[in-house]
Amino acid sequence: MANYNASVDDPTGPALDPDPLLRRLDLVLTGGTLTPRNFQTIREAMMRIGPGTYHWPLARLKTGIYLILTSPEFAVQR
């Protein structure tokens, strides 16, 4: 598995395009079980945090993590 050490402050990093970041979070936190509907909902929430806000890459990352941690897929014990 590839190492994912990109900085969220990097302008070309994972916060610019949340899809790869969200896929990685899904794999690490839920074992890849996030439903397409929840994936899209979380992606849209992350995309609403734009470059106009202070520390937007970090805010985007925190939002993605929070929403995955509160999703039903994360709460299911396997």
pTM comes to 0.78
Banded model confidence at residue 10, pLDDT cuts 50, 70, 90: low
Res 8 pLDDT > 60:
no
Res 13 pLDDT > 70:
no
34-56 confidence digits (pLDDT tens) = 999 999 999 999 999 988 878 88
- 9-18, 41-50, 54-63: lowest mean pLDDT where? 9-18
- pLDDT, position 53: 77
SS (H, E, C) the chain: CCCCCCCCCCCCCCCCCHHHHHHHHHHHHHCCCCCHHHHHHHHHHHHCCCCCCCCHHHHHHHHHHHHHHCCHHHHCCC
